[in-house]
Amino acid sequence: MGRSHGQSRESNDMTETTVFQHILLSVEEHVATLTLNRPKVLNAASPAMMRELIRAMDVIETPASAVRTLLITGAGRAFCAGVDLKPGQTGDEQTRSENEGQRDGGDLLEYYFHPFIRRLRGLEVPIVVAVNGAAVGVGTSIALMGDTILCARSAYFLHAFRNLGLVPDGGTTWLLPRLVGRARAMELSLLGERLPAEAALEWGMVNRVHDDDVLITEALAVARRLAQGPTRALGLTRRLYWESGSNSHEEQLDLERRFQCLACETDDFREGIAAFLEKRPPRFEGR
């Protein structure tokens, strides 16, 4: 049975209240679904939303949650319309105060946006992203943190920073050149034009494009498949690919050896070998 984290949460060890106003979190079949939930403003990201996303990560990474895959999507017709330029409209007094007191965009990144990006990077389970609509600015940054990215056919990406006289952030200047090459990354950032889902697929920026009405069904199918896999090995695989961007070939060989030793110590490795020898599907338990 799934657990929803919209208003409160009870764990096996203690009773803990977790109030979410701008996101939704549910856990079912070892899949945590994290939904950006401000559809009236196209899920624009405010400091309040980012604080809640960090708190949601605390829940997801708690061993008692038994989460083995994270699925991220948006409510309504957008994934995320970028940073909320009018956070005072949310009715969140703390957000309004923060917005008035922090004019420095670097502070907003350091205290609200980059911590969430770093938590996604360090997560020890796979991440699936279902881009259900517009992914603008930091919405693109969040979407590209997925290990598997699925898009609705109507979705698009827009690196809109230049339209506001800003530079790209959220790690996209590191990710985009590695995904689509320097020339295309420059085009997205300097021209600030929409990139439709089909073009993003052609560029190798996302994995799959689906009709809008089946996107979440398809994304959940991928997430559940990953949740049934050898979780620790998949987490180590995530780390290998993240580290490969800055490692030399020799350093990567050394890291693969180290991580393979760790994978060989897991129960799932022993189950995988047993299943292979017995000619049956493996039953991984994420240990």
Beta pairing, strands 9-10 & 127-131: unpaired
pTM: 0.88
- Amino acid 87: pLDDT: 52
Residues near 72 by Cβ (< 8 Å), separated by ≥ 6? 33, 34, 35, 36, 127, 128, 129, 130, 142, 143, 146
Name the DSSP class of 62. Answer: S
Decide: 148 and 90 in contact? Cβ < 8 Å. no
Helix extents (H) in 13-153: 47-60, 93-101, 105-108, 114-122, 138-143
Q: For the chain of 287 residues, list the mean pLDDT of each consecutive stretch of 10.
A: 46 45 94 96 94 95 93 97 72 47 70 94 97 96 97 96 90 94 95 96 97 97 96 96 93 95 95 93 93
pLDDT of the residue at 14: 28
**pLDDT of res. 102:** 47
CA distance 123 to 144: 14
Give the model's pLDDT for residue 214: 98
Burial of 90 (0-12, 13-18, 19+ CB in 10 A): buried
- Please give the pLDDT value at position 106: 82
Q: Is the Cβ–Cβ distance between 168 and 189 less than 8 Å?
A: yes
